[in-house]
Amino acid sequence: MSKLDNFISYLLGNDKQKYDTVVIEQDVVDEIMEISRKSYPDEFVALLEGKIKNSVLHIEGLIFLPGETSSEGAVMKIFMLPPMSGSIGSVHSHPGYSNHPSTADYQFFAKTGLFHMIISLPYELDSIASYNSFGERIDFNII
């Protein structure tokens, strides 16, 4: 961590929310794949529920928002929401084969949450990518 990163963390109040490992419940991953398939060709978006303990970010569930699917870019629908308690990040689907963040996604990641997932077609485990708030790719483990 550079001094600048530390300063940014301080400004964001993230200094007590550091993690070096991410674990996700199998049920949550299954639910993400199922909802993505059902929503297609629309995008779906949900917030991730979880907590950090001993530098491990543990994702335990999804928090759904009203009108969670959209043909116009799901992320834009939650862009303006204030941070919600219990939410540590987000997940959304892309109706194509790219799980790379869009420009809007990068802006959203930087603004809200610590961990973000994007799932693309064909909505399998291999098509899930996860990112930190800087839009940098990070891994997760399924438990």
Q: Closest approach of Cβ 1 to Zn ion, in Å?
A: 27
Q: Is 13 left (phi over 0), alpha (psi -120 to 50) or beta?
A: left
Q: Is residue 49 at the binding interface for Zn ion, with CB under 5 A as the rule? A: no
- Nearer to Zn ion (CB atom), residue 19 or residue 44: 44
Q: Compute the distance between CA of residue 44 and CA of residue 28 in angstroms, rounded to an integer.
A: 14
Q: Is 11 helix (H, G, I), strand (E, B) or coil?
A: helix
Q: Which is closer to Zn ion, CB of 21 or CB of 135?
A: 135
Give the containing element (helix H, strand E) for 33: helix 26-39
CB closer to Zn ion out of 58 and 69: 69
Contact 90, 112 (CB under 8 A): yes
User: In this chain, which residue has its C-beta nearest to Zn ion?
Assistant: 105
Q: Say whether residue 105 binds Zn ion (CB under 5 A).
A: yes
By the rule CB under 5 A, 68 interacts with Zn ion: no
Contact window for Zn ion (CB under 5 A) among 54-62, 96-104, 109-117, 124-132: 96-104
- Tell the smallest beta-carbon distance from residue 80 to Zn ion (Å): 16
What is the Cα–Cα distance from 82 to 15, expressed in whole angstroms? Answer: 19
Residues at the interface with Zn ion (CB under 5 A): 102, 105
